[in-house]
Structure 1
Amino acid sequence: MARSSTLFSPDRLRYFVSRIQERLWIRPLVLCVLSIAATFVARLADDTGLADVVPDINPDSVESLLSIMASSMLVIATFAVGSMVAAYASASTAATPRSIPLVIADDVTQNALSAFIGAFIFSLVSLIAAQNGLFGEAGRFAIFTLTLLVFIIVIVTFVRWVDRIARLGRVVNTIGQVEHAASNALKRRRRSPTLCAQPVTANQSDTTGTAVYSSTVGYIQNIDMEALQICAEEFDCRVRVTALPGTFVTPQRALLRIEGKSEGSTEDFVSAFKIGDNRTFEDDPRFGLLALSEIADKALSPGINDPGTAINVVGTLVRLFTQWQAPLTNDELDEITFKRVHVPELMLSDMFDDAFTAIARDGAGFFEVSIRLQKALHALAETGDESMTAAACAHSRAALARSERAMSHPEDIAAVRKAAAFSATFSSKTSSDDGND
């Protein structure tokens, strides 16, 4: 009952739409159907009185125009596919394979491919219909008008697509796409730190309640909170989620724990968890931070040796953490609607590990990267948030230790130590404040 009642819940629908956007064939298929429908709509014009008011279009001109479009659109569509495949390969090689779903979901590129294929199908179907005498005087005028309209759409789409394909797959553009996805995920989690459920309290132990497991091995991509709430109401129990989106689960890793339920099937509880082979960006803010860190880490590899990209990523991470730390008003926070479900909040220390550990490790020997990393952590430590200050200071000390071991020039080491001096200052201030308490 719970599963069927939440089949079209807003959260599940959002997840489904996100997955659809990553499929290249969806939009071209829709445009092909609309193109075929447009041909038959033009045929309906002959059943109206338009023949008395519209000019008579030469059938040869209509067929010539459709022939030109059919031949050119097939070539352009083939060229578009080749360019897109090259862009995807570039994004995977230069940035990170984790960014491929975002590159594929690019709206301009998908719309361009759909427009080219749709125009080809439209011209081909319309040409066959015209050559077989399907259109009368009004129908020829309608199909001629539609053909001109399709030409305009294709030209505008092609110009926009050329501008986008020139940047698609480039590292800077990929960083921007990952930042946008991570920012959206962080905004949703900031508005609802516990996914509109009750927070996990200190007296709720990890061992209390009945553990529920899944037989599927993979990453949690989405949790249908409404389904969990309905199941909890049906069984008159409380549910504590122990695996958030992004968690790798096995048959030995508990998805949740049920408190107050003594008997009955747990299948409906398990079905609320969508488990897949890969992590996704929408409900997993840490995945966006990790993908950005991977881009910077790859840029620091000896084969690429591009510290500028790593510095760019560090600045991006500072923006994201600043956004995460910014306070929200009560009106901006989502209301807790799932009263019987308890969900833990994200740990800021884990988010810092995802974002900065790899950069600090593989960028320790780069003077410019080490300095920029220390300045970034200093900026985050000054936000006024105690947990963020503690995490920033801890990563600053760890990064400094790595730089001291990786660098050989004394002046470089001294400069990095100077940039990292803030961590000792903040730590001593924190200790002093604790002593005053």
Structure 2
Amino acid sequence: MNQNILFALNRLKEKLWLRPLIFCVLSVFGALLASIADSNSHLNEIVPKIKTESLEQLLSTISGSMLVISIFAVGSMISAFSAASNTATPRSFKLITADDVSQNALSVFIGSFIYSIVAMVALKNGYYGKAGHFILFLFTLLFFALVIVTFLRWVERISKLGRMGHTIKLVEDATTNAIKMRLKFPTLNGIAINPNQEKGMAIYSDTAAYVQQINISKLQKNAETLDAIITVNAIPGSFATLDKPLFYILLKSTVSEIPDSKELKKAFTMGDMRYFDEDPRFGLITLSEIASRALSPAVNDPGTAIQIIGSYVRLFSLWDKTSADKDPDRDIYDRIAVPEISIDDLFIDAFRPISRDGAGNIEVMIRLQKAFSSISIIDNIDLKKASLLHSQEAFARAKLEMKYEIDLEVLRKESLFT
């Protein structure tokens, strides 16, 4: 799927109102659709007669209970969102609100309530005939079954939603998807930057904001029109400022028109928030924030930091599958040069906060050194260099914090540089 469309769909997915609205529309349509069965004379003859009183009682039961359950569901979701922000990090909030099971449950509960109200009004005004009564009865039973199954699934999910382990998994999964995308398209389907090539004229952002997404295909069309090469300087996740070039444009022909920078800037989606979709660093930073909070004296939960170190090992192990995941058949935008993501930056985002905040904890530091050893065996020269460097830095930090010589000696033996 086109990355621009996928980005827009992911933003819609985070909206709590979207699925309930869709389900409400379908519920109203379903309640009114039952009357179509009355136009089939053969169906009127073969279906059993359903008493109006029984339908009214069923619909009254749904309308009386679904509104209460919907309010309860919203309250439980708000509590889960608050727990995730308070115990993990506010940066995980978007992932919690996008939870499919919770959104589906809220949609079913509200939709069932709307369905029962519309069906009840239509029923009392004689909107349905014999066949319509029967179809409405089947629809109502279907709604009952759907509500029961949804409620059971939702109860199981709400028991996990907002909990530390579940939040870490959500962030790790989102980061995994972002890393896989960047490994598959390291230059976002553009070309690699040639350090020896002139960059051209610098174009600056009009505002200080995060780059959330880049429409590479739009940049390519503009570059073809201008007969130019565009070099992206701010990839998704970068904080663009008034003094930092957003991109460079090099006109290949002296007769080319002066580019309209405003039109070119429209290819960059800017905002005050970062998203996980195309920004692997944001996922690593979010995990490191959770680990730092867990290692704070007020929380003192080294187990969570150790769990996140395990997540980092899994995430960096994705580089071991780089060659298999690359897609050589995708179109290359040959006029757009895009920098690859820096391994050094990823390591700083992931490991520096833990090595700083956990420097005095022998269990955390041993697990950190083991993580560097595991990552260093991956066939990637940048990963090997970064693992060695951060192993040395982590030990140096521990040496300043740990007073017990035996702990330091144990840590030295586990370190990658020994």
- Shorter chain as denominator, the TM-score bin is over 0.9
Give 1:229's match in structure 2, choosing from 220, 241, 254. Answer: 220
Unaligned runs of 5+ in 1: 1-8, 425-437
Query: Would the aligned equivalents of 2:240 and 2:246 in 1 still touch at CA under 8 Å?
Result: yes
Check the 8 A contact 2:229/2:335 in 1, yes or no: yes
Out of 32, 54, 61, the residue aligned to residue 61 of structure 1 is 54
The alpha-carbon deviation at position 184 of structure 1 amounts to 0.6
Q: What is the match of residue 202 of structure 1?
A: 195
Q: Which residue of 1 aligns with 2:246?
A: 255
Q: Does 1:287 align with 2:282?
A: yes
- Do the aligned residues in 1 keep the contact of 2:184 with 2:326 (CA within 8 Å)? no
Q: Is the 8 A contact 1:192 1:334 kept in 2?
A: no
Distance 2:306 2:329 in 1: 35
CA contact (8 A) 2:185 2:327 kept: no
Equivalent position to 1:340, from 335, 352, 361: 335
Residue equivalent to 2:230: 239
How is 1:41-80 mapped onto 2 (pairs within 5 angstroms)?
Answer: 41-49=33-41, 50-80=43-73
Instruction: Give the conservation status (yes or no) of the 8 Å contact 2:184–2:322.
Output: no
Displacement of 1:334: 5.5
Matching residue within 274, 291, 294 for 2:269: 274
- Which among 5, 28, 31 is matched to residue 13 of structure 1? 5
Q: CA deviation at 1:333?
A: 4.3
Q: Is the 8 A contact 2:205 2:245 kept in 1?
A: yes
Question: Who is 1:423 aligned against?
Answer: 417
Q: Any conservation in 2 of the 1:198–1:336 contact (CA below 8 Å)?
A: no
CA distance, structure 2, for counterparts of residue 364 and residue 331 of structure 1: 38
TM-score by length of 2: 0.96
CA 1:212/1:180 → structure 2, altered by over 3 Å: closer, same or farther?
same
CA distance in 1, matches of 2:60, 2:330: 58
Further displaced range: 37-46 or 166-175: 37-46
**2:22 alignment partner, one of 24, 30, 34:** 30
Shift of 1:406: 1.1
Confirm or deny: 8 A CA contact 2:92 2:171 kept in the other structure: yes
1:214 positional shift: 2.2
In the alignment, structure 2 segments of 5+ residues that lack a partner are: none
Q: Are residue 185 (structure 1) and residue 178 (structure 2) matched?
A: yes
Q: Report whether the alignment pairs 1:40 with 2:32.
A: yes
Counterpart-to-counterpart distance in 2, 1:307 and 1:319: 19
Post-superposition offset of 1:329: 3.7
Query: Any residues of structure 2 matched to 1:409-420 within 5 Å, and which?
Result: 409-420=404-415
Q: How far 1:336 sits from its partner (Å)?
A: 4.7
* Distance (Å, rounded) in 2 between the aligned partners of 1:330 and 1:152: 42
Partner secondary structure for residue 222 of structure 1: strand
CA distance in 1, matches of 2:119, 2:278: 44
| TM-superposed deviation, 1:384 | 3.3
**Post-superposition offset of 1:93:** 1.0
**Percent same amino acid among aligned pairs?**
45
Give me the whole-angstrom Cα distance separating, in 2, the residues matched to 1:204 and 1:99.
Answer: 40
Runs (4+) of structure 1 exceeding 4 A deviation are none
On the 8 A contact 1:241/1:256 being kept in 2, the answer is: yes
Asked if the contact 2:183–2:322 (Cα under 8 Å) also holds between the matched residues in 1, the reply is: no
Aligned residues: 413
C-alpha distance after superposition, 1:290-342 (max 9, x if no partner):
11111111111111111001000001100100112434148644535201110
Correspondent of 2:126 among 133, 157, 161: 133
Q: Which moved further from structure 2: 408-417 or 238-247? A: 408-417
Distance 1:278 1:331 in 2: 29
Contact kept in structure 1, 2:24 and 2:115, CA below 8 Å:
yes
**1:59–1:130 Cα contact (<8 Å) kept:** yes
Matched residue, 1:124: 117
Q: Counterpart in 1 of 2:312?
A: 317
Please state whether the residue corresponding to 1:258 is helix, strand or coil. strand
Instruction: Tell me what 2:106 maps to.
Output: 113
Q: Does 1:390 align with 2:380?
A: no
Deviation per CA, 1:337-394, whole angstroms, max 9, x where unpaired?
Answer: 2011100111101110011010000011111001100110111112232211110111
